[in-house]
Amino acid sequence: MALNVGAVSRMLQMRSEADQVSVFALTLFVALLCACIVIGHLLEKNRWINESITAIAIGLITGTILLFATKGKSSHVLVFSEELFFIYLLPPIIFNAGFQVKKKQFFRNFMTITSFGIVGTLISFAIISLGSAQLFKHLEVGFLDLSDYLAIGAIFSATDSVCTLQVLSQDEKPLLYSLVFGEGVVNDATSVVIFNALQKFDLSRITSGVALRFAASLSYLFLTSTLLGVAVGLLSAYIIKKLYFGRHSTDREVALMILLAYLSYMIAELFSLSGILTVFFCGIVMSHYTWHNVTDNSRITTKHAFATLSFISEIFIFLYVGMDVLDIEKWKVVGKRLGTSVAVSSILLFLIMVGRAAFVFPLSFISNLNRKSASHKIGLKHQVIIWWAGLMRGAVSMALAYNQFTRSGHTQLLGNSIMITSTISIVLFSTMVFGFITKPLISFLLPPQKQLSAPSESELSSTKPLWVPLLPNGQDAQPEINGHDVNRVGSLRMLLRTPSHTVHYYWRKFDDSYMRPVFGGRGFVPGVQSSPAEEVLQ
Amino acid sequence: MALNVGAVSRMLQMRSEADQVSVFALTLFVALLCACIVIGHLLEKNRWINESITAIAIGLITGTILLFATKGKSSHVLVFSEELFFIYLLPPIIFNAGFQVKKKQFFRNFMTITSFGIVGTLISFAIISLGSAQLFKHLEVGFLDLSDYLAIGAIFSATDSVCTLQVLSQDEKPLLYSLVFGEGVVNDATSVVIFNALQKFDLSRITSGVALRFAASLSYLFLTSTLLGVAVGLLSAYIIKKLYFGRHSTDREVALMILLAYLSYMIAELFSLSGILTVFFCGIVMSHYTWHNVTDNSRITTKHAFATLSFISEIFIFLYVGMDVLDIEKWKVVGKRLGTSVAVSSILLFLIMVGRAAFVFPLSFISNLNRKSASHKIGLKHQVIIWWAGLMRGAVSMALAYNQFTRSGHTQLLGNSIMITSTISIVLFSTMVFGFITKPLISFLLPPQKQLSAPSESELSSTKPLWVPLLPNGQDAQPEINGHDVNRVGSLRMLLRTPSHTVHYYWRKFDDSYMRPVFGGRGFVPGVQSSPAEEVLQ
């Protein structure tokens, strides 16, 4: 403890200077965030530009200015920290995703989403690991061992769900959104879990025993993480229903929801589970039960406050990525071997595209085998969109790459330096170029037959081939708000045809009979089925 | 930059262990915050206990458990950091105070509030500095020089507005609240400004020249900080009115308000102004203009989200103070000189009480000289409440004490160690004991003549002696919501008698003619005068 206090006092002495730097950094960052919001708003009508691209561009411009201002010494004001990313920025984004997701869509597509998110990510991981190990041999990339190649596989199988979300709109294309985005969350979790598992296992010799234990470990992590999220979500519903019954205090309710959601993430991280999965399911359970137990004001507040926190975190990440691009040190080392670096980035981009194609099309094919009618199959156009939407790489890849390639040395080693700059190049290229093309591509493949302000029958029919096989009775988001009584009327007919609907039907019975009496939720005021994103509160 | 990257990589290597510790610390802290909210809610009916006391008590219990768990090594999981406090926890509390304050009450009492907050704090500072310099001579407290004694004056003139707020209720006693709380904010700003100014000036020889420059520096800081806050507030109103006109986006509006408010604080800190004053006035301007330019959902969201953030920050601070009490290192050094430590704490507590009495009663007397009728004077009972409500010392004192007495050495030096433990003792004693007595004391001095749920005529008359002299035409919060047209009817009669009302009247004319057309605000929908705290949205 004497040491501790000594360290604190030294820290305080050092901090007088560091303080001023961090105050300046924070001020600049907050000012840039404001600029991103205002400029993003002004560019809203532009169909080619989204908020991620705006933030990256502003980050790049600021980085350039800083580079000149510091005479080439540094292009960024904050050092990228995994802790900042994984402990503070990622949880609100993923929690909000779970909180605002259209639950019905998500759970009806559950099998497809998880097969894409888990099996798909594993396929992608294998292809990128093997491919890079084979192809990098012919390039002089410095020393990379087996664990590095496996890490590369995990790093580049993590799609950027944040960026994808901004490209698709939940209101315009609810089911395509739910599929692509649901896969994105499961994929994030899977790649982080793989990455962490790789560091624990001794993979110097891969035997079937090791592979089996690896698979068992993954399954265990998925199951426990999900259960933890559900448990904390139910706890919040129970506490708020039990204690706050009749005498609501808005600030306490909102504070408790925020803190418990964050607690679920932290507990998962503490026990080395997947916080991403935990907080995602916590968000779903909270929107299904807790959200209905609080006052009207708390509902509006939580809905918008969570969305705002997530929004700020997203811009923060992209702004940082933009500023970090020009960081000169990495490029100095790589500069002498620019050709190699470009080759590495190109190979990785190629492997990413192949790795994704290698599961989207086969898994869609398998999924289509189970569909009887031709109109129920996943069409080629939609497979292409699903493939394309997952090509972006973002902050998760960055964070994992920093973890792997700055931990075992620093970026002055050639191999590490090349991998870091390649990661940045790929994130930048995929977000800016692929992101730029996505909106026009979707418009081209699925031309809107009506104004987007009225996304009803016409849009439904235009995208039918994608979601009809996933939604057995062909209903979309619109009929949903008529409540589950509507579903029940037609459910007997559907029951024998589609097992997923049967599961949903029995879940509803169970939910109404056992869950809602204990945990509250909309069941007490029978009527509209909704999540915070669906209910029109304004 | 090479150094920088090397440092980062070393940091990352060290962090693997530190990470686990900080994840545990955060998890525990978040869990304790949840416990505070739930227990605070359960104890709500108790008139003696408030949330601060609950949080400190939980912190103490947790500290004791940790002390046993770590075998006497440490009682807390987070090291108290000035940065955490001044950069992250204090801004939301002060901003929310400005945002929710009943503006009319605040501005009508403006002269009284500022004379208490500025002149009063200077008097208190002088008495505590001189008193401690004289009285500590006879105790062996280790080496303390003139700058230490002046710092002690600043440290212990900072009242704890957070704690005071929880004792008084804005709805039950709106004017007493506004007076005590308004003074608290100005006092916080004044003592921090004095403390910072002390560190810049060479005070080894105090001449009239130094004193004059000191006073000029203080006035400059007050003026510029206030103007900066007003400017940023107006900027937010202008941007949101101009750009978001007609096509509102709730998340962007809320994000922009939060970020701009924080930006005002950071800019003030960057230019060594008083961030506390800046963010307070930014909050007032935002609630007067910006808040009326956003959508209904944004209004509800900002009102409750800001209150929630402030609420969480408050509990966080008290929880930390509770856990820090038992930190063993400080007590080991002091342990051998327990008598001295108790004497120092007692002397300081005595000086705090004298220092506060030395301005509350004389300034009230001066204020009363200007009042003609006896019923307009500030009664003795109310002077006692104002005196008592400012006796609590809290996190600002802690933060300043850590800054002064761990910077110039560590707590193993006797003088520093005694001052740190005395600060903790005084914070603990004043919050727990004085805080405990405050509620009963107020009930005893101002017995509620009616149920608190109907705080109208009866309560108004019971507290008349206090606020009538401050509110010239004797109206309270209730008539206020009838709008300014009501005021105008009676204003001609009042105009000659009371200058503050005249100022208010002309400000309203100016506001309606020049400000509101540019910056929006309620003026466009003529009617109810309100701040977010007053409007009933539910």
- For residue B155, what pLDDT is reported? 92
Instruction: Express each pLDDT in B85-99 by its tens digit.
Output: 888 888 998 898 889
Instruction: Express each pLDDT in B185-214 by its tens digit.
Output: 788 888 888 888 787 766 666 677 777 887
B467-480: average pLDDT:
33
> Would you give the end-to-end CA distance of chain A in angstroms?
55
Nearest to A94 by CA among A222, A285, A267, A275: A275
Please report residues of B whose CB lies closer than 8 A to that of A267. 27
Please report residues of B whose CB lies closer than 8 A to that of A243. 38, 41-42
Contact A145, A73 (CB under 8 A): no
A-proximal residues of B, 171-200, CB under 8 Å: none
Instruction: Express each pLDDT in B253-268 by its tens digit.
Output: 899 999 999 999 999 9
Cα(A405)–Cα(A415) distance, rounded to whole angstroms?
8
Cα(B40)–Cα(B32) distance, rounded to whole angstroms?
12
- Between B122-136, B439-453, B493-507, the lowest mean confidence (pLDDT) is in B493-507
Contact A266 B301 (CB under 8 A): no
- For residue A477, what pLDDT is reported? 32
A12 vs B38, B260, B407: nearest CB: B407
Structure tokens at B26: 């955060």
Q: What is the percentage of chain A residues whose pLDDT exceeds 70?
A: 71
Which residues, other chains included, contact A5 with Cβ-Cβ below 8 Å and sequence gap of 6+? Answer: B329, B406, B410, B411, B412
The answer, yes or no, to whether residue B36 has pLDDT greater than 50, is yes
Question: CA angle, corner A172, sides to A167 and A173, nearest 5?
Answer: 75
Structure tokens at B382: 């109310």
Q: What is the percentage of chain B residues whose pLDDT exceeds 90?
A: 18
**Better-scored residue on pLDDT, B65 or B321:** B65
Task: Note whether A266 contacts B: Cβ–Cβ < 8 A.
Answer: yes
Structure tokens at B71: 């075998």
Q: Distance from B256 to chain A by nearest Cα, in Å?
A: 6
A12-24: average pLDDT:
56
- For residue B250, what pLDDT is reported? 79
Q: Distance from A74 to chain B by nearest Cα, in Å?
A: 7
- For residue A417, what pLDDT is reported? 80
- For residue A122, what pLDDT is reported? 92
Give the orientation angle of helix A90-100 with respect to helix A174-200, to 10 degrees: 140
Contact B263 A30 (CB under 8 A): yes
A-proximal residues of B, 37-96, CB under 8 Å: 37-38, 40-42, 73-74, 79, 82-83, 87
Give the orientation angle of helix B414-429 with respect to helix B328-335, to 10 degrees: 110
Map residue B393 onto helix, strand or coil.
strand
A38 vs B239, B270, B409: nearest CB: B239
**Residue B527 corresponds to which amino acid?**
G
Q: At B156, is the pLDDT very low, low, confident or very high (cuts 50, 70, 90)? A: very high
CB atoms within 10 A of CB B506: 11
Contact A30 B259 (CB under 8 A): yes
Q: Length of chain B in residues, anyone?
A: 538
Instruction: Express each pLDDT in A280-294 by its tens digit.
Output: 899 999 999 999 888
Nearest to B442 by CA among B508, B385, B523, B512: B385
B334-353: average pLDDT:
86
Please report residues of B whose CB lies closer than 8 A to that of A259. 30, 33-34, 37, 312
Instruction: Express each pLDDT in B58-69 by its tens digit.
Output: 988 988 888 888
Nearest to A265 by CA among A281, A282, A284, A279: A279
Please report residues of B whose CB lies closer than 8 A to that of A256. 34, 37-38
Instruction: Express each pLDDT in A143-157 by its tens digit.
Output: 777 888 889 999 999
**Better-scored residue on pLDDT, B453 or A441:** A441
- For residue A56, what pLDDT is reported? 85
Please report where in the chains the tokens 């209904």 appear, as a residue. Answer: B296
Contact B259 A33 (CB under 8 A): yes
- Between A110-114, A280-284, A425-429, B167-171, the lowest mean confidence (pLDDT) is in B167-171
Question: CA angle, corner A142, sides to A138 and A144, nearest 5?
Answer: 90
Instruction: Express each pLDDT in B171-187 by its tens digit.
Output: 666 667 777 878 887 88
Task: Note whether A254 contacts B: Cβ–Cβ < 8 A.
Answer: yes
Task: Suggest the residue from A9, A232, A312 to mutate for an interface test with chain B (most B CBs closer than 10 A).
Answer: A9
**Better-scored residue on pLDDT, A491 or A107:** A107
Exposed e or buried b per residue across A504-515, where buried means at least 16 C-beta atoms within 10 angstroms of its C-beta? bbeebeebeeeb
- For residue A263, what pLDDT is reported? 96
Nearest to B155 by CA among B166, B144, B165: B144
Cα(A486)–Cα(A394) distance, rounded to whole angstroms?
41
- For residue B35, what pLDDT is reported? 92
Task: Note whether B8 contacts A: Cβ–Cβ < 8 A.
Answer: yes
Q: Where are the beta strands (DSSP E) in B349-489?
A: none
Cα(A441)–Cα(A435) distance, rounded to whole angstroms?
10
Contact A155, A404 (CB under 8 A): yes
Cα(B484)–Cα(B166) distance, rounded to whole angstroms?
30
A-proximal residues of B, 127-166, CB under 8 Å: none
Contact B4 A74 (CB under 8 A): yes
For B507, how many CA atoms within 13 A lie in the half-sphere containing its CB? Answer: 11
- For residue B524, what pLDDT is reported? 52
Cα(B537)–Cα(A172) distance, rounded to whole angstroms?
31
Please report where in the chains the tokens 């790049």 appear, as a residue. Answer: A60
Task: Suggest the residue from B232, B251, B419, B538 to mutate for an interface test with chain A (most A CBs closer than 10 A).
Answer: B251
ipTM score of the complex? 0.79
The answer, yes or no, to whether residue A485 has pLDDT greater than 50, is no
B69-80: average pLDDT:
70
The answer, yes or no, to whether residue A419 has pLDDT greater than 70, is yes
- For residue B124, what pLDDT is reported? 94
By the 10 Å C-beta count (0-12 exposed, 13-18 middle, 19+ buried), B18 is classed as: exposed
Contact B30, A263 (CB under 8 A): yes
Q: Distance from B2 to chain A by nearest Cα, in Å?
A: 7
**Residue A289 corresponds to which amino acid?**
Y
B-proximal residues of A, 27-46, CB under 8 Å: 27, 30-31, 33-34, 37-38, 40-42
Q: Provide the sign of the torsion angle of the four alpha carbons B191, B197, B203, B208, taken in this order.
A: negative
The answer, yes or no, to whether residue B247 has pLDDT greater than 70, is no
Which residues, other chains included, contact A287 with Cβ-Cβ below 8 Å and sequence gap of 6+? Answer: A98, A99, A100, A101, A103, A531, A532
Please report residues of B whose CB lies closer than 8 A to that of A249. 41
Q: At B488, is the pLDDT very low, low, confident or very high (cuts 50, 70, 90)? A: very low
- For residue B425, what pLDDT is reported? 87
Contact A308 B255 (CB under 8 A): yes
Q: Distance from B477 to chain A by nearest Cα, in Å?
A: 22
Which residues, other chains included, contact B499 with Cβ-Cβ below 8 Å and sequence gap of 6+? Answer: none
A328 vs B1, B15, B255: nearest CB: B1
Contact A304 B9 (CB under 8 A): no
Which residues, other chains included, contact B27 with Cβ-Cβ below 8 Å and sequence gap of 6+? Answer: A263, A266, A267, A269, A270
Contact B9 A409 (CB under 8 A): yes
The answer, yes or no, to whether residue B464 has pLDDT greater than 50, is no
Nearest to B190 by CA among B96, B124, B282, B97: B124
B101-107: average pLDDT:
77
Please report residues of B whose CB lies closer than 8 A to that of A34. 256, 259-260, 263
For B312, how many CA atoms within 13 A lie in the half-sphere containing its CB? Answer: 21
Q: Where are the domains of chain A?
A: 81-445
The answer, yes or no, to whether residue B43 has pLDDT greater than 90, is no
Mean residue pLDDT of chain A comes to 75
Contact B269 A23 (CB under 8 A): yes
A96-100: average pLDDT:
85
* Chain A: residue whose CA lies nearest to B302: A301
The answer, yes or no, to whether residue A78 has pLDDT greater than 50, is yes
- For residue A484, what pLDDT is reported? 39
The answer, yes or no, to whether residue B325 has pLDDT greater than 80, is no
Which residues, other chains included, contact A207 with Cβ-Cβ below 8 Å and sequence gap of 6+? Answer: none
Give the orientation angle of helix A395-407 with respect to helix A296-324, to 10 degrees: 50
B353-379: average pLDDT:
80
A-proximal residues of B, 312-351, CB under 8 Å: 312, 328-329
A297 vs B33, B243, B300: nearest CB: B300
The phi-psi region of residue A142 (left if phi > 0; otherwise alpha if psi is between -120 and 50; otherwise beta) is left
Cα(B509)–Cα(B528) distance, rounded to whole angstroms?
16
Structure tokens at A206: 């891969």
Give the orientation angle of helix B146-157 with respect to helix B174-200, to 10 degrees: 160
Cα(B130)–Cα(A310) distance, rounded to whole angstroms?
52
Instruction: Express each pLDDT in B381-412 by its tens digit.
Output: 888 888 888 888 887 888 888 778 876 555 56
Beta bridge partners of B159: B393
- Between A21-30, A47-56, A484-493, the lowest mean confidence (pLDDT) is in A484-493
With residues binned 3-state (H G I as helix, E B as strand, rest as coil), the percentages for chain A, rounded to 5, are 75, 0, 25
- Which of the four CATH numbers 3.30.420.130, 3.20.19.10, 1.20.1530.20, 1.10.260.40 does domain A81-445 have? 1.20.1530.20
The answer, yes or no, to whether residue A100 has pLDDT greater than 80, is yes
**Better-scored residue on pLDDT, A34 or B538:** A34
Please report where in the chains the tokens 């596989």 appear, as a residue. Answer: A153
Q: At A242, is the pLDDT very low, low, confident or very high (cuts 50, 70, 90)? A: confident
**Better-scored residue on pLDDT, B536 or B184:** B184
CB atoms within 10 A of CB B527: 12
A-proximal residues of B, 392-411, CB under 8 Å: 402-403, 406-407, 409-411
The kind and range of the H/E element at B90 are helix B90-100
CB atoms within 10 A of CB A524: 11
The answer, yes or no, to whether residue A10 has pLDDT greater than 50, is no
Contact B19 A83 (CB under 8 A): yes
Exposed e or buried b per residue across B265-291, where buried means at least 16 C-beta atoms within 10 angstroms of its C-beta? bbbbbeeebbbbbbbbbbbbbbbbbbb
Task: Map A206-250 to HEC letters.
Answer: CCHHHHHHHHHHHHHHHHHHHHHHHHHHHHHHHHHHHHCCCCCCH
Instruction: Express each pLDDT in A383-418 by its tens digit.
Output: 888 898 888 888 788 888 877 887 655 556 777 888
The phi-psi region of residue B81 (left if phi > 0; otherwise alpha if psi is between -120 and 50; otherwise beta) is beta
**Better-scored residue on pLDDT, B161 or B458:** B161
CB atoms within 10 A of CB A455: 21
Cα(B305)–Cα(B45) distance, rounded to whole angstroms?
24
Please report residues of A whose CB lies closer than 8 A to that of B307. 250-251
The answer, yes or no, to whether residue B462 has pLDDT greater than 50, is no
Q: At A265, is the pLDDT very low, low, confident or very high (cuts 50, 70, 90)? A: very high
- For residue A354, what pLDDT is reported? 94
Cα(B7)–Cα(A485) distance, rounded to whole angstroms?
62
CB atoms within 10 A of CB A135: 15
